[in-house]
Amino acid sequence: MIRTKILLGILFFMRGSTLLANGEPTAADAMFTVNNTWMLVSTFLVFIMHLGFASLEAGLTQSKNTVNILFKNVSIIAIGILTYAICGFNLMYPGEFNGYFGFAGFGITSPIGSAGLIGYADGAYTYFTDFIFQAMFAATAATIVSGAVAERIKLSSFLIFSTVYVAIIYPVAGSWKWGAGWLDQLGFYDFAGSTLVHSVGGWAALVGAILVGSRIGKYGQNGRIKPILGHNMPLATIGVFLLWFGWYGFNGGSVLSADPGVVSLVFVTTTLAAAAGVIGAMITSWYVSKKPDLSMILNGSLAGLVGITAGADVISPMNSVLVGFIAGIIVVLSVIQLDKLKIDDPVGAISVHLICGIWGTLAVGVFSAEHSLSVQALGVVAYGLFCLIGSILIFTVLKYSIGLRVSEDEEIIGLDIGEHDMESYAGFQIFTVE
């Protein structure tokens, strides 16, 4: 009781002048503050996922390309957030529009005069919270591509691709559902972005990996596949834990308020799916490879998380276990199958984000009575076509203008020296003898 009073006191103190226009704060004002605070906490949880991506991608690639992969990951969040402020937000949430393409103008400004007004989203969050939360998501979609094309794509081409993709393709695609566009009207459901974020990034990752080609030496004659080992499993593991951690904001914040019932349900389904993804991947990789592979269970947890993201608030906890478990199985089989198709994805981004994103979107139709599987499938196909066309177009233009790939010599020496003239582990050597 005392705690509650203190909390209310703090809230009262913190709310600032915008709410106090009418004198006494109301219960609605307090709820507004609580909701908005949760949304901002979620925002920085999603922010930390970028450190997760950076660590995971660095860990699963070779040490000679670490500066390059980190450089890409840092650039992407900057590009994603800036383009979202310039045009992305207003492309994704154009207000009233034809359902396919709308644009509410460049830049962000509070449309109702004051950023702190309770009326913007029924007391759930402010205009600026809305923007910054969504901006973190946009940057996430762009960063998915980075891992799949790692260790051979030219830095400049990658940065141009990401800028165009996250500035135009991602928000336009997003407007179809979250901007209340045509798929939303049809009843398509994607709670936090199995399709809108993960598949959208995943389709581009697929196109990128195919168009840029495989790393030198990965695929030999007679279908021989030579694995190119990631150089730091502890770093990859840290990355996955950070991604899992950040997912509580990714899914928890997608409730778009601090509604206790829904947020706690989402936490449970999200966690159960991630855990089941680990177990699904563990069993599959142990069975297929005869040995349990750490990198596969890392992908497995992410697979479970991507899988539950579309339906985290409409799938029951026990079904979320099933969704995650199946995602864990799918991701391992997909990683192996993509290698057989000679699509070289060093970190498994296509399997985790695209394949499990599709699975998660369809799972809403399977496990939620209110949603139709055929509409979910239509959404998957619509997003697939749009993102494929968009990314093929951008990547092809780049391929025949400035080129997509670094030279063979540069690839062998490593992109750290080739692109940056810089080493990632200068003066650092690990001794194994004692």
Partner 1 sequence: MKLIIAIIQPEELPAVKEELLKRNIYKFTITNARGQGKEIPVQEVYRGISHEITLLKKVRLEIAVNDEFVDAVVEAVTVVAKKEGDKGRGKIFILPIDDCIRLRTGEKGSEAIG
Least distance (Å) from partner 1 to the CB of residue 218?
10
The yes or no reply on residue 85 touching partner 1 (CB under 8 A) is: no
User: Using an 8 Å Cβ cutoff, are 308 and 192 in contact?
Assistant: no
264 or 337, CB closer to partner 1? 337
Token pair of 139 as six digits: 């940057």
User: Using an 8 Å Cβ cutoff, are 246 and 42 in contact?
Assistant: no
Residues in 13-72 at the binding interface with partner 1, rule: CB under 8 A:
none
Stretch that binds partner 1, among 79-87, 170-178, 290-298, 372-380 (CB under 8 A): 290-298
Q: Which of 75, 80, 91, 94 is nearest to 46 (CA)?
A: 80
DSSP state of 255: G
The yes or no reply on residue 285 touching partner 1 (CB under 8 A) is: yes
Q: Which of 342, 293, 346, 299 is nearest to 64 (CA)?
A: 346
Least distance (Å) from partner 1 to the CB of residue 243?
18
Per rule CB under 8 A, count of chain residues that contact partner 1: 22
The whole-angstrom separation of Cα 195 and Cα 256 is 18
Q: Position of tokens 């992969």?
A: 69
Least distance (Å) from partner 1 to the CB of residue 260?
41
55 or 368, CB closer to partner 1? 55
- What are the residues facing 153 on neighbouring strands? 405
Using CB atoms within 10 A of its CB, is residue 27 exposed (0-12), middle (13-18) or buried (19+)?
Answer: exposed
The yes or no reply on residue 291 touching partner 1 (CB under 8 A) is: yes
339 or 410, CB closer to partner 1? 339
Residues in the chain: 434
* Residue 105, amino acid: G
Least distance (Å) from partner 1 to the CB of residue 430?
9
426 or 430, CB closer to partner 1? 430
The whole-angstrom separation of Cα 271 and Cα 193 is 16
The yes or no reply on residue 251 touching partner 1 (CB under 8 A) is: no
The yes or no reply on residue 341 touching partner 1 (CB under 8 A) is: no
Stretch that binds partner 1, among 68-76, 137-145, 288-296, 400-408 (CB under 8 A): 288-296
126 or 299, CB closer to partner 1? 299
Neighbours of 120 (CB within 10 A): 21
Q: Of 145, 278, 332, 362, which lies in the binding site for partner 1, with binding defined by CB under 8 A?
A: 332
101 or 287, CB closer to partner 1? 287
Least distance (Å) from partner 1 to the CB of residue 324?
20
The yes or no reply on residue 216 touching partner 1 (CB under 8 A) is: no
Q: Position of tokens 């908005």?
A: 36
The yes or no reply on residue 431 touching partner 1 (CB under 8 A) is: yes
| HSE (side-chain half, CA atoms, 13 Å) at 216 | 13
The yes or no reply on residue 428 touching partner 1 (CB under 8 A) is: no
The yes or no reply on residue 229 touching partner 1 (CB under 8 A) is: yes
Q: Of 105, 226, 401, 413, which lies in the binding site for partner 1, with binding defined by CB under 8 A?
A: 226
Token pair of 218 as six digits: 């990965």
Token pair of 252 as six digits: 């928890």
25 or 292, CB closer to partner 1? 292
CA distances from 129 to 220, 235, 267 (A): 51, 31, 21
Q: Of 288, 366, 378, 388, which lies in the binding site for partner 1, with binding defined by CB under 8 A?
A: 288
Give the DSSP H/E element, type plus range, for residue 182: helix 182-186
Q: Of 29, 293, 344, 419, which lies in the binding site for partner 1, with binding defined by CB under 8 A?
A: 293
The 3-state DSSP composition of the chain as helix, strand, coil percent (nearest 5) reads 70, 0, 30
Q: Of 8, 225, 262, 375, which lies in the binding site for partner 1, with binding defined by CB under 8 A?
A: 225
The yes or no reply on residue 283 touching partner 1 (CB under 8 A) is: no
The whole-angstrom separation of Cα 260 and Cα 243 is 23
The yes or no reply on residue 393 touching partner 1 (CB under 8 A) is: no
The yes or no reply on residue 295 touching partner 1 (CB under 8 A) is: yes
The whole-angstrom separation of Cα 374 and Cα 156 is 40
136 or 335, CB closer to partner 1? 335
Q: Which residues bind partner 1 (CB under 8 A)?
A: 225-227, 229-230, 285, 288-291, 293, 295-296, 332, 335-336, 339, 348, 431-434
